[in-house]
Amino acid sequence: MKRLSEIDINLLVLFDLLYQELNTQRVALLLGITQPAVSHALKRLRRMLDDELFERTSRGLMPTPLATRLHPPVAQALTQLQEALDRPDDFDPATSERVFSLAMTDIGEIVFLPRLIEYLARQAPGIRLSTVRSHNEDLKREMENGRIDLALGLIPQLGAGVYQQGLFVQRYVCLMRKDHPLAGVDFDMDTFRAATHAVVVARGTGHGIVEEQLARAGIARPVRLELPHFAAVPYIVSESDLVVTVTDKFAEAIRKRFDLAVHEHPLPFPDIPINLFWHRRFHQDAGNRWLRGLFFEMFSE
């Protein structure tokens, strides 16, 4: 039986990261050490536990059965230890120079960041923000590792281990330039079908529901342009006769600046809940608590 006094906790931290990453080079970068140092630490672990723990296969590094059995309790113990060591009162937003990483779409950047940056400039001038796009399969792991502090949007697949808080619900509307030939008419389903459209195919987000609902309803319309994101939409729509389906929050954020007209969508879509997500590892982290409280105070409805 192994005594805790015989175990270097740094080896358990390395074991946890290696189990998640299955790549010694990435673990070295995360820990700020060399790859040979990772290999040396892994050798110590192997001797201590009398098991290879990770084997090289045709699919890359893979855990042994013992590693698979050990990881859940080791990860839970490390999380509890980190939470015990975190001091809840050591974060002062007025003096902090912390960098927070936020996972959000380009719509999120347009809706949230202008107000948020203006607030930080006044109340927390040392704090910096970094926004990232993260594929669904990577997002939970990056939140667990602390590389992403908060995620915002419609992300139902995050599952266990991640807390969430509702901010508001969105609905879909039709957007066009203010002097569009259809801007002043009753924008019913016949008008929608007759219009020429731009379509945003934002893969990896919840906005795929638009095309799914239209296809399910058997509604076809002429599409002249497909885009992978929303950021270019106002520039294109304001200079063309294209109509695009977007969320109402996005439309509100850009309507006046680009002189656009907004119509209720003729097809009823379900409301889209926009939530704030954080990993349970950082539930008690003072900086994380402050930032998610700020989001809720500024944007919840």
Whether residue 74 is predicted with pLDDT greater than 60 in this model: the reply is yes
Across 185-201, average pLDDT: 89
What pLDDT band is residue 115 in, cutting at 50, 70 and 90? very high
Full domain range(s) for residue 214: 172-270
Q: Is 204 part of any domain?
A: yes
- CATH number of the domain within which 30 lies: 1.10.10.10
* Residue with token string 């536990």: 49
Interstrand relation of 99-103 and 150-153 (parallel, antiparallel or unpaired): parallel
Tens-place pLDDT, residues 7-26: 788 889 989 999 988 988 88
Q: The domain that contains 195 carries what CATH number?
A: 3.40.190.10
Do residues 153 and 292 both lie within one domain?
yes
Regarding whether 178 and 157 lie in a shared domain, the answer is no
206-254 pLDDT, tens digit each: 677 777 778 787 888 888 999 888 889 999 999 999 999 999 999 999 9
Residues 181 and 263 in one domain: yes
Same domain assignment for residues 257 and 188: yes
Look up tokens 């009753």; give the residue: 186
Average of pLDDT values for 256-260?
Answer: 93
Rounded distance, CA 205 to CA 105, Å? 8
In a domain, 249, yes or no: yes
> What's the confidence (pLDDT) of residue 131?
93
Do residues 60 and 191 both lie within one domain?
Answer: no
pTM above 0.85, yes or no: no
Q: With 90 as the cut, is the pLDDT of residue 288 above it?
A: yes
Whole-number Å distance between alpha carbons of 294 and 164: 15
Per-residue CA distances from 86 to 17, 82, 130, 278, 284 (Å): 20, 6, 23, 16, 8
- 126 belongs to a structural domain: yes
Q: Which tokens in the block code for residue 250?
A: 């996005």
Provide the number of structural domains found in the chain: 3
pLDDT confidence of residue 278? 93
Residue 277 lies in a domain: no
Return the closest-CA partner of residue 250 out of 195, 192, 172.
172
Same domain? 179 vs 266: yes
